[in-house]
Amino acid sequence: MEDSKKTNLKLIIREELDDFDWVRDVKIDYDLTPAQFYHRYEGNLPLKFVGPLIDSGFIDIDYDGDELYLKLEDGWCDLKSLFTEHDTSSSQGAYINKSLVNNLYCDGDYFELFDGVVYDWEDQVWDLITQDDELYKYIIDHINENIVGYQMGFEGEQRTLTKEDILEWSADSDVLGEAINDLDVFEDLKLELAWAYSGAYNIVIRDNIYKSVKESVEDYLGPADWYGNVLTFKVTEPLLELIGNEIGDCWENCKRLWDPKEHEDTYMMLNRTEEEGFVEYCRSCFDHPFDSYGYFLDFFENYLSEEKELLNPSFNEFASDSEMLPYFKDEVYSRF
């Protein structure tokens, strides 16, 4: 497998050599690592050369069609490590942390963000129903077909709920809403509608969180796309920049410790130049960062952590009626 990769790399280099004037007339060593390319060619990481090497270095990176792709089989769940563990709320609003991403995108069980959403049934739930004529009629039809005929306590006595009652009350939506809120015969209906409202509210907040998660990740990695069940980012530019910075730091840190005079006898005895002696001395940089990270996401998480930039975006924790109404209707229709 390794021989095949080296052969393919040789073919790539031979075919693309004319595209890189700065390597013309330079003897190419086909076993160079990305770090050696970076050092030898003054901070350059030519994709045609290092793309296949990065592919083999990071398990979650694919080199395909002159681009580098981050591929995540567990979708957004795989990205939870990029988020901070800070609290999700503060006096300035609501924020997304690692635990919230895990609860929403990793756990198999349904996670409800907010409970106790309904605190004023008439003002919230019934008001939303009356904003949609179709939904209002649907509730009336449900009452006529499934609740009319039941006994109810009304004005201090027990009697049967009739269609005439519903016809009279429904002429004024406020009157019908008050009746549903106050009369025991509507207790189950009232509860189901409150649950539908809570479900719709939480769906909107989930949408808000997804939007914020997506934007915060894409700010670093670029647009996300789904290919089948695999979440994919084209990360060529940000990855090469991050890798280049990491490799550059390794070389610079090593260079601070390099004293040519101290090693002069060694590299001259081996018939090497001072530069070759430096490279030999800094062999620990050759396979960096792949010697420390098998996955690009682990490397990226460490980078964000060191830069104190782990993701902690805010999200809108409030849902408007216009946002909720489509979801609320779906919830109601699925319950009745």
DSSP structure class, residue 76: G
The answer as to whether 330 is a domain residue is: no
The answer as to whether 103 is a domain residue is: no
The answer as to whether 201 is a domain residue is: no
Residue 233 pLDDT = 97
Q: Are 23 and 49 in contact (CB under 8 A)?
A: no
The answer as to whether 208 is a domain residue is: no
Range of the domain at 33: 2-76+221-309
Domain count for the chain: 1
Which of 287, 334, 336, 324 lies closest to 129 in space, CA to CA? Answer: 324
Residue 310 pLDDT = 95
DSSP structure class, residue 151: E
The H-assigned helical ranges of 33-149 are 34-40, 47-57, 98-105, 121, 127-129, 133-146
The answer as to whether 82 is a domain residue is: no
Over the range 140-152, which residues count as b (16 or more CB within 10 Å of their CB) and which as e? Answer: beebbeebeeeeb
Contacts from 321-327 at CB under 8 Å and sequence distance 24+? 321/127, 321/128, 321/131, 323/204, 323/207, 324/128, 324/197, 324/200, 324/201, 324/204, 325/128, 325/131, 325/132, 325/200, 327/199, 327/200, 327/203, 327/204
Q: Are 129 and 190 in contact (CB under 8 A)?
A: no
The answer as to whether 7 is a domain residue is: yes
Q: What is the pLDDT along the chain (336 residues), one digit of tens a residue?
A: 445 444 444 444 444 444 434 333 444 454 688 988 888 888 888 898 899 999 999 999 999 999 999 999 999 999 999 999 876 555 567 899 999 999 999 987 677 888 889 999 999 999 999 999 999 999 999 999 999 999 999 888 899 999 999 999 999 999 999 999 999 999 999 999 999 999 999 999 999 999 999 999 999 999 999 999 999 999 999 999 999 999 999 988 888 887 887 777 766 666 777 777 778 788 888 899 999 999 999 999 999 999 999 999 999 999 999 999 999 999 999 999
* Separation between Cα atoms, residue 125 and residue 120, nearest integer Å: 8
Rounded to whole angstroms, what are the CA distances from 294 to 66, 216, 245, 256, 288?
22, 24, 18, 28, 11
The answer as to whether 214 is a domain residue is: no
The answer as to whether 181 is a domain residue is: no
Tokens 């930039």 label which residue?
309
